[in-house]
Amino acid sequence: MTTPATTLGSHRRLQPTAMGTARWTEGFWGDRFKLCHETSIPAMKEALEHPENSACLSNFRVGAGLEEGAHRGTNWSDGDCYKWIEAMAHAYAVTKDPELDREMDHWIDLIGQTQCADGYISTQTQLNPKKERWGRPQFHE
């Protein structure tokens, strides 16, 4: 296929809206957005910081050399943390909440400190000297 996915057909009836041109301010979706911003995002952080959770923000602190320890969680723990940051980014795009901005900057900086100079990042491999890079890509490496 040579046609880019972004090409719009000549018979289109709907057009995509740009980020920020529509907002859920009330009703079902407004309530869900408010719940996500005010409750779900903080609850997700609490879960990601819990020592018994299978996805752990602490892996990035260990990877950045700020804490001692071994990898905790599953082989896809990093991805769950990235999805939390993505949720903050979506909420920030609408609210411009300075606390979300600070929180994202903090974790993006730690992730950057964890990332290898060649761009590689996978805490389940980096924090385990017995694991070889690209040794098991089926485990989200």
What is residue 104's predicted lDDT score, i.e. its pLDDT? 98
What is residue 3's predicted lDDT score, i.e. its pLDDT? 55
Strands (E), the chain: none
What is residue 2's predicted lDDT score, i.e. its pLDDT? 58
Any idea where the domains of the chain sit in the sequence?
Answer: 27-126
What is residue 101's predicted lDDT score, i.e. its pLDDT? 98
CB environment 92-117: b (16+ within 10 A), e (fewer): beebeeeebeebbeebeebbeebbee
What is residue 135's predicted lDDT score, i.e. its pLDDT? 83
| Residue ranges in the chain modelled with pLDDT below 50 | none
CA distance 114 to 65: 8
Residues 31-42 have pLDDT tens digits of: 999 999 999 999
